[in-house]
Structure 1
Amino acid sequence: MKKQITIALAVSISAFSFAQKKELKEAEKAIKGNNYAEAKTALKQAESQLSEMDEKQKAQYYYLNAEALYANGAASMKDIDSALESLSKVQGDYVSESSDLKQSMVNGIIKKGNKFYEAKDFSTSSKYFEKAYRLSTKDTLFLYYAAATAVNVQEYDRALVLYEELKNLNYTGVEKQYFATNVSTGEEEILDKSTRELYVKAKSHTNPGERMTESKKPEIVKNIALIYISKGDDEKALKAIDEARAETPDDINLILSEANIYYKLGNTEKFKALLEKATQMEPNNPELQYNLGVISAESGHPEEATAYYKKAIELSPNYINAYINLAALILSKEESIIKEMNGLGSSKKDDLRYDELRGQRQDLYKQAVPYLTKALEIDDKNISAAKTLVNIYSILGEKAKHDELKVKVEALEAEAK
């Protein structure tokens, strides 16, 4: 009797083992045929028998389950996470296969990240680059890409976390770069070492060389500071700027950003000192003069802004934005005039004041016209400058100029469509 029970039990265990092998084999066959839905069905049936499987079968199950979930790169981010969880349970057998699959997943995720990047879907691209890094933490470059693409779509909170992680890892991104000059184009090209040597040997390239790339650490700490500025966290921003300036003490933009924070905090003395430092460092930099003009205008210093814009034009006569901003500064005075005009009564005194203010308003328009005209000469497709001029000519009663420019504006608007 005992012998019969033992035999029956042995037959039962054998039947379970046979069923498990059959379902795993079916899943494996379905995966090879790219039929992942069928593979998932077979694996679902095998899942209920996990407790009866030996270690090798369990390892095979978890490996095949990861393959089915990943679906050769067609998986969603959620399925990728599930596939990774399944791979983490593989022990003993299939460890080598799991390692290969994981690397294949990394490559596929990077490929998808690049695809989303090329489609300018920076948000999704960033998440794929981060996933690639989480899968292969030695590839810190992808953590950098994740942070940089997050900034592109102003996902500042997420970018900040990634940049802080890069900073804590002391990531620099410095690497050796190989280059040579293309004989047919005369342009320098960045190549991998073996390709460069092949091209030089074939005489299609000359002047081979190598150099170390610049560190990305200054950019990282700078972006951390700028994100804190955008969030209005002045205390952390100033601390981050101190770190950033320690990396790049001569970065004009950091000095300007710091100056702007001090202005917000009411520390005008520090604000002016930093502006003076910036101009001393690069007195002939038109972009710096322009940026100083922008900061001065935003900080409520129109006279200083005007001087900086004019200096930018002196250094670079075709600096179109300086002309436009000069016109904007002039026209910004219009608001207070209109406000007073609208508040006047109907007395004779008020009528006289109204006429006086109307004259002041027209004088502002006349002062702005040369700057807008010059901007339009530099860029004849600048619709913003053209529209403003059309409105000014209308108010000034210069019908011929208004009509001529209106035709141009309509043509530009039609072209934009």
Structure 2
Amino acid sequence: MKKLILGIAIVASAFVFGQKNDVNAKLQETNKAAMDAYTAKNYTVAAPKFIEVYNLLKTNGQDDKIYMYYAGLSYALANNNDEAIKIYTELINSGFTGIQTTYTAKEKKSGQVVPLDKTTWDLMKNKNNDYSDFKTEQTPSVEPDLYETLTTLLLNAKKPNEALVIIEKGLAKYPNNVKLKDAQGTAYYESGNTEKFIGALKEQLAKNPNDATNWYNLGVMQSKNPASLEDAITSFKKAIEIKPDFDNAYQNLVYTVIGEDSKIVDQINATRKDKPDEATKLIDARRERFAKALPYAEGWYKAAPKNIDAVTALKEIYVVTKNMDKVKEMKAKETELKAQGK
């Protein structure tokens, strides 16, 4: 979220309402209360005060939605998602961009640059010789921020389908917005749209193949489908290549390579007596999988030496691959961590 830039629009308003002292005084008082509350990080107080400023201006013919933007931002910072979502939605639907034009001139005598409202600036530019360097500037658009923040608010509120609507609308205007693209993948995932989530991850990785987190997320999704387990292994390996201490990637890689071991053990036990040859084949295949998983389990342990799950997994792999010295070492480490409450 972008930091507020306050006080500019209200200066212009003071010129507009210069003949209405009661209105102008109320505006200045309310604006100061809003800014003071925001500066003090009292966002719960700041938000309705900004709305009050907006309503005062609107009543007097000035529909300056920048104050609704300030209110929405304050509600978001106050974790009042419902009010923030309401305001951000209204701002987006209204076409609000937050672009403001500022007008300034330099006082020749003092050399000071002073802010002016447009009407005064136009008049002085043509008729007042006491000022020079008449300039106008435009503030940047906050529209991308509106889409990004509203998307985050909706995802935080567990409304991924509504977030997708905003994301698609935002990407139609800002197709290269990285934050919206990232949020799109999250929204697909949270809405249960697995295929689109995988598609979004692949699209992001095509643009940035060095994103370890996206390789990891892709591996997680691929590992859920028996037909794409080899793809999952490749994705987890990519994540580790990019981020060698990525312990979660090592963990998932180990379990993906080993597979559903409890089911295999049940099969071995069920066939051991009546079909010993079949049981032997299952045992050999199991040992082969554990041997294949061993370097990844060692990598996991190296990345997370105090993770008891990593220690236990490595111990069990050493048992299956018959490395008894290492089994003793891991048992000792397991006992140590348990004593420490890890």
Shared fold, TM over 0.5: yes
- Summarize the alignment of residues 170-181 of structure 1 with structure 2, pairs less than 5 Å apart: 170=95
Work out which of the residue numbers 240, 245, 256 in structure 2 matches 1:313. 240
Match 2:169 to one of 237, 243, 246: 243
1:1-80 mapped onto 2 (5 Å cutoff): none
User: Conserved in 2, the CA contact under 8 Å of 1:109 and 1:131?
Assistant: no
Q: CA separation in 2, counterparts of 1:219 and 1:163?
A: 10
Q: Residue in 2 aligned with 1:182? A: none
CA-CA distance at 1:410 after TM superposition:
4.1
Partner residue in 1 for 2:61: none
Percent of aligned positions that are identical: 22
Cα deviations across residues 187-246 of structure 1 (Å, max 9, x unaligned)?
xxxxxx9xxxxxxxxxxxxxxxxxx99765435424545636974664x45433322322
- Counterpart of 1:143 (choices 72, 84, 102) is 72
Under a length normalisation based on structure 2, what TM-score does the superposition of the two structures give? 0.55
Amino acid paired to 2:297:
L
- Residue 390 (structure 1) shift: 5.0
- Closer/same/farther in 2, CA of residues 100 and 257 from structure 1, 3 Å limit: closer
1:213-362 matches, within 5 Å, as: 217-222=143-148, 224-225=150-151, 227=154, 231=158, 234=161, 236-250=162-176, 251=178, 252-254=181-183, 256-257=185-186, 260=189, 264=192, 274=200, 276-297=202-223, 301-337=228-264, 340=267, 344=270, 348-349=273-274
- Is the CA contact (8 Å cut-off) linking 1:289 and 1:312 kept in structure 2? yes
Q: Which runs of 5+ in 1 are unaligned?
A: 1-91, 115-124, 177-192, 194-211
Q: Distance in 2 between matches of 1:175 and 1:383?
A: 57
- 2:47 aligned with 1:130, yes or no? yes
CA positional deviation for 1:325:
2.6
The residue identity in structure 2 corresponding to 1:297 is S
Q: How far off is 1:276 after superposition?
A: 4.9
Structure 1 partner of 2:88: 163
Unaligned regions of 5+ residues in structure 2, if any?
1-19, 55-65, 102-112, 114-137
Q: Deviations over 1:42-89 (max 9, x none)?
A: xxxxxxxxxxxxxxxxxxxxxxxxxxxxxxxxxxxxxxxxxxxxxxxx
* Aligned counterparts of 1:142 and 1:383: Cα–Cα separation in 2: 48
Q: Which amino acid aligns with 2:89?
A: E
**Residue 229 of structure 1 contacts residue 237 of structure 1 at CA under 8 Å; is this kept in 2?**
no
> Does residue 399 of structure 1 match 2:324?
no
Q: Please report how far the alpha carbon of residue 376 of structure 1 lies from its aligned counterpart in structure 2 after TM superposition.
A: 3.2
Cα root mean square deviation, aligned: 4.9
Q: Measure the CA separation in 2 of the matches of 1:348 and 1:339.
A: 13
Task: State the secondary structure of the residue aligned to 1:283.
Answer: coil
Deviation at 1:292, TM superposition (A): 2.7
Equivalent AA in structure 2 for residue 294 of structure 1: V
For residue 175 of structure 2, give the secondary structure of its aligned residue in structure 1: coil
CA shift in 2, pair 1:265/1:223, >3 Å: same
Provide the secondary structure at the position in 2 that maps to 1:314.
helix
Q: Is the 8 A contact 2:155 2:163 kept in 1?
A: yes
Scaled by the length of structure 1, the TM-score of the pair is 0.47
